[in-house]
Amino acid sequence: MEKKPVAARSRYDKLIQLGKKADLPKSPQEARLERVRNPHPDTAYLIRFTLPEFSSICPVTGQPDFAHLVIDYVPDRWIVESKSLKLFLGSFRNHGAFQEDCTIFIARSLIKFLQPKWLRIGGYWYPRGGMPIDVFWQTGEPPKGLWVPEQGVASYKGRG
């Protein structure tokens, strides 16, 4: 077996979830986001994560809430490692919080951890009690000249 160069191995040594068995964290507070260096820190480009099957728990009724989340961000020094993000977002499945709180908590956690140049989140929540609640937030204006596509989630009409 050929041994990898030390430089190639050590770049990702601190990642504890990527390429390894990792259980779903019990809560967002127990989840561990991980990051890697942005390979193009001099370029303003958009990274998008789309989660059409996000779920959390209503803190009052204990019933599940479902959302289609779209997270857009422009990295600075760091990009989020996607497996750690999936585990972080999956940890909300048993987490009791209102839809607005989940959406903003996710955005603020990513901002604190990554310190991106720009971030926006769209939380398109499916109806409970007959009314969808959509939650939108961004850090400010996107970088000048950046192409920011529409999030592509239609207003509620069955979301189909």
Active-site positions read 58, 65
Eight-class DSSP state of 96 = B
Q: If 0-12 CB within 10 Å is exposed, 13-18 middle and 19+ buried, where does residue 78 land?
A: middle
Q: How far is CA 79 from the centre of its chain?
A: 11
Question: Alpha-carbon distance 80 to 35, whole Å?
Answer: 4
State in Å, rounded, how far the first CA of the chain is from the last one: 50
What are the E-state strand segments in the chain?
35-37, 47-57, 64-74, 78-80, 118-125, 134-138
